[in-house]
Amino acid sequence: METIQKHEAWNKGKLVGQKPPLKPKDIWAIRIHLQNVHAVRDLAMFNLAIDSKLRGCDLVSLRVRDICHGAQILSRAMVIQRKTQRPVQFELTEPTRSAVAAWIEKAHLRGGDQYLFPSRVKCSPHISTRQYARIVHHWAAAAGLDSSIYGTHSMRRTKATLIYKRTKNLRVVQLLLGHTKLESTVRYLGIEVDDALEISEQTEI
């Protein structure tokens, strides 16, 4: 008689689906927390994640040369995405440049080929995407959020969502995210749902 083994679903007890973006108040709560605890690396990583809108795999593999020219932090950078092999540009705001400069100084990252966020584990040259995901959960918890519903894609979606709400320009957001198809941007932002909620909130009953 055969014994039937029952395997639990991988997502049992877990929340799955799109990770929500951070709200402006959450961004400032996390920044203030990181500044108060003098988390120089995390502040640089957080600001850079928001500004760059990069996937986790691209963020953790950034090298110093990607955002620096000599000793100067670039105001605009461009990297090749691992998933699509297509270039994507992003702007580094002044707070991000200051945070990154402070981290480079503290970590003594002088060589252009050095990874911006090196790992303490010998077998890995830079922090892993899994470690980055754990860090994001800590950031969300520090802001008083339910960390189980936020992830690395929350970081990627945050500024893109804010830009779309401000401009309603899908093409711009598509370019900033490095999507090859406009449909991908629509699905990624969940625009139909967001717009429906916005309209319903403006409708008086």
Q: What is the pLDDT along the chain (205 residues), one digit of tens a residue?
A: 444 444 454 344 444 457 889 999 999 999 999 999 999 999 999 999 999 999 999 999 999 999 998 889 999 999 999 988 889 999 999 999 999 999 999 999 977 899 999 998 777 889 999 999 999 999 999 999 999 999 999 999 999 888 888 888 888 888 888 888 888 888 877 766 555 445 445 444 4
- pTM confidence score: 0.80
Residue with tokens 């932002």: 189
Contacts of 77 (CB under 8 A, 6+ apart): 52, 66, 67, 89, 90, 92
User: 24-202, what's its fold?
Assistant: hpI Integrase; Chain A (1.10.443)
Contact by Cβ (8 Å): 20, 160: no
Residue 191 backbone phi and psi in degrees, to 5: -65, -40
**Domain chopping of the chain, boundaries:** 24-202
The alpha helices in the chain, defined as continuous H runs, are 24-36, 40-52, 56-60, 64-67, 94-107, 129-142, 152-167, 170-177, 182-189, 191-202
